[in-house]
């Protein structure tokens, strides 16, 4: 019995060690476009498995994967011919998260499901 418990402990420790050595830090991102027009993602900080630019049609959701180059992910977007910068803030503890982009009071906002508050989308300079 003690040998079985010890063997299970060793297997669990080995699995944790091997997963921590992995260089696969990709985050699964779901982006819901709740605008009346399309969104184009022109740049993402870090690596992505999808080709850019990535177009998201109105009232649709796209799933993609990003390996961030820091504690947040920065998205450069084109909406209605204007450029915007979306910064997720701290997301390194999440393996997946959802974003939604929507209009409220004439302004464009976004919400990250893990943060639970709306943020105004910044026009990029």
Tens digit of each residue's pLDDT (9 = 90 or more) over 7-28:
666 566 655 555 544 446 898 9
| pLDDT surpasses 70 at 42 | yes
- Does residue 85 contact residue 76 with C-beta atoms inside 8 Å? yes
Apex 6 CA angle, 4 and 12, nearest 5: 100
Q: How confident is the model at residue 70 (pLDDT cuts 50, 70, 90)?
A: confident
Burial class (CB in 10 A: 0-12, 13-18, 19+), 115: middle
Percent of the chain past pLDDT 70, that is, above it, reads: 80
DSSP state of 120: E
DSSP state of 44: E
| pLDDT surpasses 90 at 75 | yes
0.85 surpassed by pTM = no
């Amino acid at each position: 019995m003690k040998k079985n418990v010890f063997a299970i402990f060793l297997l669990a420790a080995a699995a944790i060690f091997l997963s921590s050595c992995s260089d696969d830090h990709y985050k699964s991102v779901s982006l819901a476009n709740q605008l009346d027009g399309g969104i184009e993602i022109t740049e993402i900080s870090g690596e992505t498995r999808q080709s850019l630019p990535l177009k998201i049609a109105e009232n649709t959701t796209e799933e993609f994967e990003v390996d961030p180059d820091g504690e947040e992910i920065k998205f450069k977007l084109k909406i209605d011919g204007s450029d915007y910068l979306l910064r997720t803030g701290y997301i390194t503890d999440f393996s997946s998260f959802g974003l939604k982009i929507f209009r409220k009071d004439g302004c464009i906002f976004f919400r990250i499901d893990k943060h639970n508050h709306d943020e105004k989308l910044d026009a990029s300079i």
